[in-house]
Amino acid sequence: MNNDLAEIPAEIGQYKTLKEISSGSYGLVIQVQHKTTKVEYACKIVSRQQLSDKNVFQCFEQELRIHERLTHQNVVKLVEIIYEENYIFVILELCEKQSLYDYLSNSDYSYQRFLKKITYQLCNAVDYIHSKGVIHHDIKPENILLDVNMNTKLADFGCATEQNRSPTNFNGTLGYAAPELVDQDSPYSDGPKIDIWSIGITVYTLANGVVPWRNVEEFYQRIFEDDYSFLQELSPDISEFVAACLKVNPNERPTAAQLKDFEWIKNVKKLPAAKKAVNRSYGVSSSYKDEGGKKKNLLVRGIGDKSVVLNMIPKTNRCKSSIRLIRASVL
């Protein structure tokens, strides 16, 4: 699909096209306005050509069916689906601040209080979807949106599954995915606790400004070896929260409801007013020193802008090489 806005019709059903928000391999997201109510929404435009494969279409329909039954203040609302001959238009709640990743790349807030609110509302969203039998599978800063009042909205249910249906392929983002998903020898099955792991990685990234890995395979290896020394970079209260999320045994991880009762976030108050935006490098990036002693930065958005499909081969030494990737391709 060509992402030129001029090719998009001026009107889509009861909505008037306003402007482009973002584009990617999936298609285009534009801002629209309902012609009667004047309320503005986001509209995700998906070409039917992209859905020509039966399995791809079924996955897309599953995403829509799951998303449309979720109604919660911390979940992006799916408003309407418009099917036309060449495109499918998905009308969504508009989050003016876009993703948490994008917003924090260019803004400065009272950081700790902001992080507490983000974390509490994220846990609130995950607690809700789990109560509805839904597992998100891809929680990360890119999939956490912010509305005009700086409230957290969990988005993108493209990897989501129902709890009684295990996915046929790995769906998620390497690095944010729980060990039981990337380790084929894991005795633990897929379940809602995989989202708790992703919350932990997300909170670490937001709190520390960098992802907790330089090399993802080495990161999982450290986890399997019970090496959590990277948590020392966090304050004690945040470290306690993240450590609880990052238990290798998912049965030892708290539920999202239990996370909301952690001392660090349970007394969250309203976010303070924004300060003047500054051009600040926010970090889902990782830094290290090269052989000459110069500091290098590794910008990381998960492992890619989209989810990663992994195929793994048996490991001769689980701790030495936690995962072996035959292929990692962006969906």
Domains, the chain:
11-93 (3.30.200.20), 98-276+316-328 (1.10.510.10)
Among the listed ranges 132-136, 215-219, 258-262, which one has the minimum average pLDDT value? 215-219
pLDDT band at residue 328 under the 50/70/90 scheme: very low
237 given a catalytic annotation: no
Q: Is the pLDDT of residue 219 over 70?
A: yes
Confidence tier at 30 by pLDDT (50, 70, 90): very high
Residue 203 pLDDT greater than 60, yes or no = yes
**In this model, does residue 311 exceed pLDDT 60?**
no
Which residues fall in the annotated binding site for ATP? 44, 142-143, 156
CB 128 within 8 A of CB 87: no
Share of the chain above pLDDT 70, in %: 73
pLDDT of residue 106: 61
pLDDT, one tens digit per residue, over 47-92 is 888 888 888 888 899 999 999 999 999 999 999 999 998 899 999 9
Distance CA 138, CA 157 (A): 8
- pLDDT over 60 (residue 189): yes
Phi, psi dihedrals of residue 272, rounded to the nearest 5°: -65, 160
Query: Which of 138, 183, 190, 195 does the annotation list as catalytic?
Result: 138
Of 281, 110, 283, 259, the residue nearest 208 (C-alpha): 283
- The structure tokens listed for 21 are 């928000």
